[in-house]
Amino acid sequence: MDSFHIIMEAMPQLLNGLGRTVEFSILTIILASIVGLIAALFRLSRSHFLRFISWIYVEIFRGTPLLVQLIFIALGLPTVLPLNDWFGPTLYPFIAAAIGLALNEGAYITEIIRAGILGIDRGQTEAAESIGMTRFQTMTYIVLPQAFKRMIPPLVNQFAQTIKDTSLLAPIAIVELLYTGQIIVAENFAAFQIYGAVAFLYLVVIFILTQFARYLERRLQIDKR
C-alpha cells in the first residue's frame, strides 16, 4: 500500500483525534485567558497578598515542565485524594488535563497581559483619574482596550504554543491527535506517514489561528498606530 493510501485510511481516526485536540485547545485558551487576566490584575493590584499569590502561581507553573504538571495532576494527585471517586474515572482525566493546561498556559498569559498593561503610558491613567474615573473604570475603559491590541502578537504566539502543548496529553492517556497517531503506528508501523500526517494537521490548525490573528490585527489597524 502506498503512502497516500496509508494516510487516507488513517485519516478518519486522525481527524477524530484532531477534533479532541481542537476542543482542548479552545477550552484551554479560554480558561487560560481568564486565569491569566485575573492573575495579571492581582499582580498589579495594591494588595501585597494578591501580588504575592499571583507571583507564586506564575513562578510555580512557569518553573516546572508542563508534562510533569500534567502527570502529577492526572496520575499523582489521585493517589492521595479520591479524585477518581469524586468525579468518576472517565471525567477526572479530562478535568486534570484542562486544569493542568489552563494553569500552565495561564502563567505565561499572566506575564503577557502584565507586560501589555505596563506598556500603556502612565499619562493615560493619570488623565483618566483626573477626570474622576475610578481605578476599575480606568482599567476597563482606558488601559485594557489599548493594552489588548499590543498583546495580540504575543498572545497568538502563546495560543499556537497551547495547541502544540495539547500533544503532551498523550502520555496521560487522553485520546488527542498525537495519541491517535501512536495507536495507529502501533498497528501499521507506518511511522513516517502517520507522524508526518499528525505534524501536518497541527500545522493546518495553527496556520488557521495565525491567519485569523492577522485578520484581527488588520481590522484593529495595529501597525497604523
Q: Which three cell numbers stand for residue 77?
A: 494527585
Q: How many residues bind other proteins (CB under 8 A)?
A: 31
Determine if 64 is a binding residue for other proteins (CB under 8 A).
no
Give the Cα separation of 101 and 105 in Å (integer).
6
Candidate segments 102-110, 121-129, 161-169, 189-197, binder of other proteins by CB under 8 A:
189-197
φ, ψ dihedrals at 88, nearest 5°: 90, 140
Q: What DSSP character marks residue 207? A: H
Show contacts with other proteins in window 161-180 (CB under 8 A).
Answer: 170-173, 179
φ, ψ dihedrals at 25, nearest 5°: -65, -50
Interface pick for other proteins out of 187, 208, 216, 222 (rule CB under 8 A): 187
Say how many Å lie between the first and final Cα of the chain, rounded.
56
Determine if 203 is a binding residue for other proteins (CB under 8 A).
yes
Helix (H) or strand (E) holding 86: helix 83-87
Determine if 204 is a binding residue for other proteins (CB under 8 A).
no
Helix (H) or strand (E) holding 70: helix 66-71
Interface pick for other proteins out of 186, 208, 216, 222 (rule CB under 8 A): 186
| Angle CA 51–104–48, to nearest 5 | 5
φ, ψ dihedrals at 189, nearest 5°: 60, 15
Determine if 12 is a binding residue for other proteins (CB under 8 A).
no
Determine if 61 is a binding residue for other proteins (CB under 8 A).
no
Nearest alpha carbon to residue 35 among 138, 105, 119: 105
- Dihedral through CA 204, CA 93, CA 55, CA 145, nearest 10? 40
Determine if 75 is a binding residue for other proteins (CB under 8 A).
yes
Show contacts with other proteins in window 77-116 (CB under 8 A).
Answer: 78-79, 82-85, 89-90, 92-93
CB of residue 71 to other proteins, shortest distance in Å: 8
Shorter beta-carbon distance to other proteins: residue 151 or 206: 206
Determine if 4 is a binding residue for other proteins (CB under 8 A).
no
User: Which chain residues interact with other proteins by CB under 8 A?
Assistant: 71, 75, 78-79, 82-85, 89-90, 92-93, 170-173, 179, 182-183, 185-189, 191-192, 196, 203, 214, 218, 223
